Amino acid sequence: MPAYVRADKCDGCNGRERVECVHICPNDLMKLDADGSDSGHELKAYNQEPEQCWECYCCVKVCPQNAVECRAYADFVPLGGSVQPLRDESKIVWTIRFRNGEKKRFKFPVRTTPDGSADPYGDEPEADLADLADHGQLFTANTHECDFSQFGAAVGVDDAGS
């Protein structure tokens, strides 16, 4: 079951700089319905294409109102159970509710760098877009040699191997 927003809990991140679930969804599925014309709930977020949802839990973890819910994976929540993460600046607490009513909580630290401060490329040089035309350079630049003669004409390689 894809992520869905409980309209009774969602406040559209009222008073916040951005709507958190809309900002974090890697597939751009979450949307804020400003006037209620799409979902029937004014100023509430909703999943505009549930069939495309990866169930990655990004929106579930980031929602400050715990308004986004998603199917619990069987590898950590037994059949009939539910899971709800609650995140703050320093930790995330996962609450597992079993079908017999028992609850268990697991607490983990979260990243320590401020949001948006990660530098994924570090000191790497700027990419040369001309290299994209050379498929031999794309992912394996200078990592290994390949004898293309084994592929012959099937891949457009002439007898000289070029």
Spatial contact of 10 and 69, defined as CB atoms under 8 Å apart = no
> H helices within 2-141, ranges in order?
20-24, 58-62, 135-138
Nearest residue to 5 via CA among 115, 25, 80, 103: 25
Catalytically annotated residue among 9, 14, 40, 54: 54
The one-character DSSP state at 149 is G
Quick check: is 54 catalytic?
yes
Distance (Å, whole) CA 32 – CA 22: 7
Distance (Å, whole) CA 83 – CA 56: 13
Could you tell me which residues are beta bridge partners of residue 5?
Answer: 68
Active site residues: 54
